Structure 1
Amino acid sequence: MSKHSIQTLLATSTALAVCLIANIGCAMAAETPTADAPAAATGAADDQSTSANQAGQANDRQSLTTSDIIVTGSRTAEAAPLTASLTTTQPQSAISREFIDNANAASDFFELIALTPGVSISGTGNGQGFSETKATIRGFKDGEYNVTYDSIPFADTNDPTHHSTSFFPATTIETIVVDRGPGNASQLGQATYGGNLNMYSRAVSDKRGVMGEALLGNWNSFIGRAEIQTGKIDKWNGAKFTLSGQYLKSDGALTYSPVMSKNLFFKGVIPIGTSSKLTILSTWNRNYYYQSDVLKGTSCGVPTTGLVSGSATLKAENCAPTSNIGMYGLNYGLSNDPTRQDYWKYNRTDKTTDFSYLRLQSDLSEHLSLDNRVYMYGYTNNTMSGNTGSTIVTGYNTSAVPYTKNTITGIPGYNKLNKYRVLGYIGQADYTFGFGKAKVGGWFEHSNSWRHTWDFDWNTGAPNYDQKANLGTAATAGYPSVNLANIKYEQNSSWDQFQLFGELELRPVSNLAITPGIKYVHFKRGVNAMVNADSYRSPANTTATWTKALPFGTINWQPKTNWSFYGQYAQGMYVPDLSSFYTPSYDAATAAQSTSAAAAVKPQTSTNYQVGTVWHGRKVSVDLDGYIINVNNKIASATDTTAFSGTLVNIGTVHYKGFEGQIAYMPIEGLTLFGNGSYNYAHSGTTNAQIAKAPFSTAAAGFIYKHKGLRVSFSQKFTGPQYATELFTVKQSVNGVPTSVTQFTTTDGIRLYRISPYSTGEFAISQDIGEHFRIGATVSNVFNSRAITAVANGGTTVVGGQTYYAGADQFSFLPPRSFMVDVRVKY
């Protein structure tokens, strides 16, 4: 799509919004807040039902994000599951606590944002909440956008990706704000690039109370919850605390794939004097699940009839009798056969996480306020997995060169550990003056990580020396000793980073806010490995530093108190992953080439242009936006035969364009209808083809009805067509720098692995019984769709000059329809 076309679409979208508003003729909501005196979505300034309204909570006026207070002008916007603030400066969807409280109780934080325009979810195959999921926003995958909790960024330390069933279950989340843009200069994170998923912690209530809840569902699923609120404690100057816990267990939708998790959450808000508050938060999470670390889905094999051509959409039909689907059906996960690598007891992942912070907020004067916090979080992933093959290497015969392997028949497996600890500090000062305010601050963070993978035999528990090793020849001299051949990698890594930011919010008139700002990023990453995770498994001890200044500029204009327009210009940055060090350096020559390849890897950068409008009427709430995002230095793995395996290179540009909108309508009191949609163009600058795992479109629709304690809701999410694999490959490079990029072709010249559109729905109903009891039920995947949501590429084969898939592809499906009933008691 041309630049002129996208501009035409944006203009048309804005015109449609104006026409819609004019035709509806809805009066402005009474007592609509202005931008100078914002109120949160629940209305009353002293309301304690959401953390946005509570001084000293995470998302208040001193929050580091611009999405701290969701300003609305109508009950319709407040009742909708998704809404945008009148004061926003970028496309936004805020997910309410009421929606979270009534969604599937097992939902992880990615699944909770599934209705958001431009968002698609994968990885739900074991049942909603019973397997880790990934969210794609406008074609940006997990790791290319920030995820924060109470404005503190968190992510893995090898790359900034996330584990959705670790750290923060739904019971620890009050609200979520999905900002589809880099934010202002004060938005912190490692991937100020594709957007921000900002979670805010559960509120601490002024009122004392206790709550208990039990939920039962199919697949022997059980969830137990408890919460205690102390309310304000007068003798402690109004301090208040909350403590909650959750226990979850399920057999899972897939065969032999049980899961379990436990969570504890504590939060306290303690007034200090009359002008300061101390917030203390700590949460601990433990979960395990049984899932192959090698298999990425369910195999179909070569169909018994009608080979599927490369020109067709892949379908799991007529599967080979010996394939996973042929033997076990679509719900295959693991087996109960101890002679196979997929035996469920051989494939367990055990994770423990913690996250804690101390935050001190102080009003030093009428104009000056300070916000300081220190935090830490940790993650331990201990995975045991079966591996492919059937040969175990017990050792090497070194009496002659080359050394020869001593082998037996066994069941290969491995132990994988990923363990890290992150410490950080965030400081910020806000100064308010006559026609605006200034904000300055900084973020400092240090991490330490330990990662390894060790191979062994499941039959005996003895090491399996099956990795490449120095066999005493010149050709193998770059590999480690045979004594280390059971170690795939043994690696320590770290980072030390800081970001400094400053921004101004200028208000030349009361209804216009202009916010210029700048952020400086300084990121130093290092690795110290006895055996590095590269193809040669060479030792490594090196560091690299990346820096960049990122300018920002936003505008928000409210011609009416319930109607705003906004625009954003912002630059973003994505720091190279730890894998940028995965090139060998076992001698001077390879060290030089490794240094050259690492130098060629630059941070991915983006330039964002976004415009939009938000309108909240008495019965209708509408927001529309359009965006153009250009990405440079897109990082991918080199496929040139002269490059080391795993070498990362910059392959050029990706262009993201599109428009999005969401609407809510309240035809009668208590009934809210809602819908949204997006068109998302994410094309490679080299092939002009849509990149992989980026749906062309998304849509959602549903309703919520509430009356006298009864609540009924239904929503259906549609995910448009997408491709599972990329179209391009790097053909040539010099010292890791590409010299040409050409289109990947097959003999029939048509791209493989197209995933058809699919949709899934959720129904929920609950009834309050008096003041203390609630009963309810949810049904997920209401229409029992078993659509394919992802394909792991198994390669292709040529038969009679025609390209077909080779039968090794692995499919992921939507899980079967499921239900959950719950009983809640509170006092």
Structure 2
Amino acid sequence: MKTSMRIALLVASSLPTLAGATAAHAQNVNVAPEDDQSKSTSANDAGQANDKQSLTSSDIIVTGSRTAESAPLTASLTTTQPQSAISRDYIDNTTPAADFNELIALTPGVSITGTGNGYGFGETKAVIRGFQDGEYNVTYDSIPFGDTNNPTHHSTAFFPSNTIETVVVDRGPGNASQLGQASYGGNINMYSRGVKDQMGGQVEASAGLWNSFIGRAEFQSGAIKSLGGTRIVLTGQIMQSDGALTYSPVAGKNLYGKAVVPIGASNTLTIMSTWNRNHYYQSDVTKGATCGSATKGITGFANAAVGADGQALTQLTGENCAASSNVGVYGKDYGLTNDPRTIDYWRYNRTDKTTDFSYLRLQSELGSGFSMDNRVYMYGYTNNTLSGNTGTVVSGFSGAGTAASPYVAVTKPGDILGYDKMNKYRVLGYIGQLNYDFSFGKLRLGGWYEHAVTDRHLVDLDMTTGALAFNEKFNNGNGTAAQNALPSTSLAAIQYVQHSDWSQYQLFGEAEIRPIEGLAITPGVKYVHFTRGVDALVNQKSRGQINTSATWTKTLPFLTANWEAMPNWSFYAQYAQGMYVPDLSSFYSTSGKLSTALDALKPQTTTNYQVGTVWHGEKVSVDVDGYIINVSNKIGTCTTVGCDTTLLVNIGQVRYKGVEGQLSLMPLHGLTLFGNASYNYAHSVTTGAQIAKAPFGTAALGFVYRNQGFRLSFDQKYTGSQYATEFSGNPNLRLYRIKPYSIGHFAMSQDIGDNFRLGVTVQNVFDSRAVTAISSSASGAPTATVNGTSYQNGYGQGDQFNFLPPRSFLVDARVKF
């Protein structure tokens, strides 16, 4: 390759020149001088997160120009699928409280919801090309993690940005070695903070709007000679804010530690552990602010004749709301109230979460081209939630519970109904991989085993008094089969109390073959075996007793290729299959047909066809891709007449296709311009309509300027129109279309001497209050009958809106040592 080639782990790929590199960056960058024919990469530094033995080896970023290195987003010249790698420089200079979803918000095809309480002050969800959270993997140092009822994620629960060195968004299933329960719609791969060779650290404080404060500290031990060169990094964070929404304060704290320990000349032991605790005040029931009222429906919409998918539409804006609605009373910043007579009283709505994540990793060089990588890990999650709820408190019953003398509910109409909810799980796992490097390629063989146990409950409460409420269905003693399947009155306060577990393993093998210089072809195969069991005294939704399990298996083929046509220009192609294992809701039925339905239920699968190219020029860096993804065996509720709607079944297909591109330009030294765009088609094959929460397109523009310790940046992210709800079948109207919106982020900082830095970040620079999500309600909505079928034909009075948060700022001071 040419001497202009720079190979660097993404942890430092943001720097235009080494002269501007801080110690935090420089330890992970090894750039050869212009006259040096060698190449050097920190991928060879065992114990760092995405080193050469990383399971997701394509996430070792290879760049071919300063332009690619200086951009906030880039793609590797060696990638085999569409990719956006987020630089450490961008993470270090974005809003300190940002969660991992907000860190990837600029990437093509990605849209974010849940930011209404301010960036970093509420849990967010990311959509990638229309794939929702749970339909893609999220990993930390190549270890998949997620909830155990379904593989969704809580963005503020585990890994604040002080624990993240870099993030790589892979828009595809990856190779066979990419592990996860939802190798389906893509991967968000986070990598842990790296250790450094030199001792140092920093203390940081940020403060801003809504009484927000974030404090951080970092310590790097450097190489400790007395411990054989062991390197340690420790970080901690505290965070608190009143939040952008009314009566919605948040607070959290985090501790993180990592040690990389050389053992002899051929082994490296990595020990990592992080602990996180946070709490926030947010309703578990209401999903936004109402705009209509009991007497007035939604009027804030703009009409258009035909939508992008051919359906008539109306676009909601959340304007002109009824005076008595949440927006009318509190404005777009409505969250909770200070009125104990309502379900949204803030003291009735609190969530406390405690999480931990730890692993031991032993990497061994065995000689003759062989190496091994072994990881043992554990993570846990505890969520205790109190929430107000709609309805009237049932304090007890009278009567004998027979047909002649049925139970009669005793109610307390003046009290507020609510519940106590708990979700607690512990996951243990092992990942092993054997590598063999030979003259014209590499061979990887490995496996993953994981076991999870979960306990969940939801108990109804009288929030006014703190006593139990008995609002759930129970056996009223009339002798019918439906009633006999329900629990007794003593359990009428319990919506569910449930124990579940899973045991899964995946085996994979792949060979990276290099038949000629510059060409890598990687065939692979992965076998998935997943068993899930449920043992519940009172099962969720069905409220029956259950003790059963089901097993799903699948063999997934992979074939990828990367051709470096020139040292700074490559092409790639991918054929891959992915799958999504049925989640816990598959068991939410007491039907006598449940066992048969579970046997018939197939995992959702994808077949991915993707092509792209990456070019890193002297002044311009660009990558472009196109994709077609076919989803089969989509899981949902049967809508056929006579179906048992308590059972989940395979209901059809979805087709995703689109084009995406990223561009970086360095017109002069220190200035990097960047942009990206995507067109994303995600249609149900059955209805022909764009699926919900899938924007038709995204785009981003921005710049970064650096000069002698001064840094200035701005970016604007555009999210195209999308539908908040699925197509109802109404041939005359497609409801709940959200207008396109965009949001800007500004950051400026100045180094003062070698040890001090001052900065400011501004979120939502232009103060847009656009709608980002809508939770629909058919209450009070008009209807229309078309061909004998009744459809909702307008907006409900109880529709709930989420808005972008108002403009906010944080000032930041850092002291380095």
Give matches, 1:299-378, under 5 Å. Answer: 299-302=290-293, 303=296, 311-378=313-380
Which residues of structure 2 form unaligned runs of 5+? 30-41, 304-311, 786-791
Give, as a single letter, the amino acid of the residue that structure 2 aligns with 1:280.
Answer: I
- The 2-side partners of 1:315 and 1:424 are apart by 46
Asked if 2 retains the 8 angstrom alpha-carbon contact of 1:39 and 1:71, the reply is no
In the other structure, the counterpart of 1:703 is 703
Asked if 1 retains the 8 angstrom alpha-carbon contact of 2:432 and 2:446, the reply is yes
Give, as a single letter, the amino acid of the residue that structure 2 aligns with 1:424.
Answer: G
Asked if 2 retains the 8 angstrom alpha-carbon contact of 1:66 and 1:88, the reply is no
Shift of 1:400: 4.7
Given candidates 782, 786, 809, the residue that maps to 1:798 is 782
Given candidates 199, 216, 234, the residue that maps to 1:208 is 199
Instruction: Give a deviation string over 1:726-760, Cα, whole Å, max 9, x none.
Output: 115xxxxxxxxxxxxxxx117xx111000000000
- The 2-side partners of 1:99 and 1:594 are apart by 49
Kindly indicate whether residue 418 of structure 2 is the aligned counterpart of residue 418 of structure 1. Answer: no
Kindly indicate whether residue 813 of structure 2 is the aligned counterpart of residue 823 of structure 1. Answer: yes
- The 2-side partners of 1:417 and 1:156 are apart by 13
Kindly indicate whether residue 534 of structure 2 is the aligned counterpart of residue 532 of structure 1. Answer: no
Given candidates 221, 226, 233, the residue that maps to 2:217 is 226
Shift of 1:29: 7.6
Cα 1:41–1:227, aligned 2, differ >3 Å: closer, same or farther?
A: closer
- The 2-side partners of 1:158 and 1:486 are apart by 22
- The 2-side partners of 1:280 and 1:390 are apart by 52
- The 2-side partners of 1:254 and 1:305 are apart by 22
Instruction: Give a deviation string over 1:393-418, Cα, whole Å, max 9, x none.
Output: 32343265322112222111100000
- The 1-side partners of 2:711 and 2:227 are apart by 38
Give, as a single letter, the amino acid of the residue that structure 1 aligns with 2:693.
Answer: K
In the other structure, the counterpart of 2:46 is 55
Give matches, 1:104-503, under 5 Å. Answer: 104-302=95-293, 303=296, 311-398=313-400, 400-401=402-403, 402-409=406-413, 410-475=415-480, 476-503=483-510
Asked if 2 retains the 8 angstrom alpha-carbon contact of 1:41 and 1:71, the reply is no
Shift of 1:58: 1.5
Given candidates 28, 31, 34, the residue that maps to 2:4 is 31
In the other structure, the counterpart of 1:661 is 661
- The 1-side partners of 2:649 and 2:473 are apart by 25
Give, as a single letter, the amino acid of the residue that structure 2 aligns with 1:139.
Answer: G
Shift of 1:583: 1.0
Given candidates 50, 64, 72, the residue that maps to 1:73 is 64
Instruction: Give a deviation string over 1:365-392, Cα, whole Å, max 9, x none.
Output: 0400000010000000000000102333
In the other structure, the counterpart of 1:809 is 799
Shift of 1:332: 0.4
Asked if 1 retains the 8 angstrom alpha-carbon contact of 2:297 and 2:795, the reply is no
Instruction: Give a deviation string over 1:467-492, Cα, whole Å, max 9, x none.
Output: 01111113422211111000000000
Asked if 1 retains the 8 angstrom alpha-carbon contact of 2:724 and 2:773, the reply is yes
Asked if 2 retains the 8 angstrom alpha-carbon contact of 1:702 and 1:714, the reply is yes
Asked if 1 retains the 8 angstrom alpha-carbon contact of 2:44 and 2:52, the reply is no
Which region of structure 1 is more displaced relative to structure 2, 299-308 or 90-99? 299-308
Which region of structure 1 is more displaced relative to structure 2, 543-552 or 637-646? 637-646
Instruction: Give a deviation string over 1:288-311, Cα, whole Å, max 9, x none.
Output: 000000001110114479586894
Tell me the secondary structure at the aligned position of residue 329 of structure 2: helix
Which residues of structure 1 form unaligned runs of 5+? 1-27, 585-589, 729-743
Asked if 1 retains the 8 angstrom alpha-carbon contact of 2:382 and 2:423, the reply is yes
In the other structure, the counterpart of 1:6 is none
- The 1-side partners of 2:808 and 2:69 are apart by 29
- The 1-side partners of 2:540 and 2:156 are apart by 26
Shift of 1:241: 0.6
Fraction of identical pairs, as percent: 64
Cα 1:805–1:558, aligned 2, differ >3 Å: closer, same or farther?
A: same
Shift of 1:53: 6.3
Shift of 1:187: 0.4
Asked if 1 retains the 8 angstrom alpha-carbon contact of 2:677 and 2:697, the reply is yes
Which region of structure 1 is more displaced relative to structure 2, 394-403 or 626-635? 394-403
Cα 1:340–1:66, aligned 2, differ >3 Å: closer, same or farther?
A: same
In the other structure, the counterpart of 1:23 is none
Give, as a single letter, the amino acid of the residue that structure 2 aligns with 1:779.
Answer: V
Asked if 2 retains the 8 angstrom alpha-carbon contact of 1:66 and 1:183, the reply is no
In the other structure, the counterpart of 1:686 is 686
Give, as a single letter, the amino acid of the residue that structure 1 aligns with 2:183.
Answer: T
Shift of 1:800: 9.0
Cα 1:39–1:778, aligned 2, differ >3 Å: closer, same or farther?
A: closer
Shift of 1:511: 0.6
Give, as a single letter, the amino acid of the residue that structure 2 aligns with 1:474.
Answer: G
Instruction: Give a deviation string over 1:43-78, Cα, whole Å, max 9, x none.
Output: 999952367563221110000003331000100000
Tell me the secondary structure at the aligned position of residue 753 of structure 1: strand
- The 1-side partners of 2:769 and 2:630 are apart by 35
Which region of structure 1 is more displaced relative to structure 2, 44-53 or 783-792? 44-53
In the other structure, the counterpart of 1:648 is 648
In the other structure, the counterpart of 1:674 is 674
Cα 1:706–1:29, aligned 2, differ >3 Å: closer, same or farther?
A: farther
- The 1-side partners of 2:471 and 2:344 are apart by 19
- The 2-side partners of 1:483 and 1:816 are apart by 48
- The 1-side partners of 2:221 and 2:740 are apart by 48
Cα 1:681–1:800, aligned 2, differ >3 Å: closer, same or farther?
A: closer
Give, as a single letter, the amino acid of the residue that structure 1 aligns with 2:358.
Answer: S
Instruction: Give a deviation string over 1:541-596, Cα, whole Å, max 9, x none.
Output: 11000001100000100111000000000000100010001111xxxxx32x1122
TM-score normalised by the chain length of structure 2: 0.92
- The 1-side partners of 2:44 and 2:420 are apart by 47
Instruction: Give a deviation string over 1:80-122, Cα, whole Å, max 9, x none.
Output: 0000000000000000100000001110000000000000000
Shift of 1:601: 1.9
How many pairs are equivalent?
774
Kindly indicate whether residue 93 of structure 2 is the aligned counterpart of residue 102 of structure 1. Answer: yes
Shift of 1:644: 4.1
Instruction: Give a deviation string over 1:124-159, Cα, whole Å, max 9, x none.
Output: 000001000000000000000000000000000000
Which region of structure 1 is more displaced relative to structure 2, 707-716 or 459-468? 459-468
TM-score normalised by the chain length of structure 1: 0.91
- The 2-side partners of 1:573 and 1:625 are apart by 22
Shift of 1:524: 0.4
- The 2-side partners of 1:39 and 1:211 are apart by 18
CA RMSD of aligned residues (A): 2.0
In the other structure, the counterpart of 1:504 is 511
Which region of structure 1 is more displaced relative to structure 2, 128-137 or 314-323? 314-323
Asked if 1 retains the 8 angstrom alpha-carbon contact of 2:14 and 2:89, the reply is no
Tell me the secondary structure at the aligned position of residue 634 of structure 1: strand
In the other structure, the counterpart of 2:32 is none
Give, as a single letter, the amino acid of the residue that structure 1 aligns with 2:5.
Answer: T
- The 2-side partners of 1:486 and 1:633 are apart by 37
- The 2-side partners of 1:771 and 1:168 are apart by 29
- The 1-side partners of 2:459 and 2:808 are apart by 38
Tell me the secondary structure at the aligned position of residue 110 of structure 1: helix
Cα 1:672–1:485, aligned 2, differ >3 Å: closer, same or farther?
A: same
Asked if 2 retains the 8 angstrom alpha-carbon contact of 1:117 and 1:699, the reply is yes
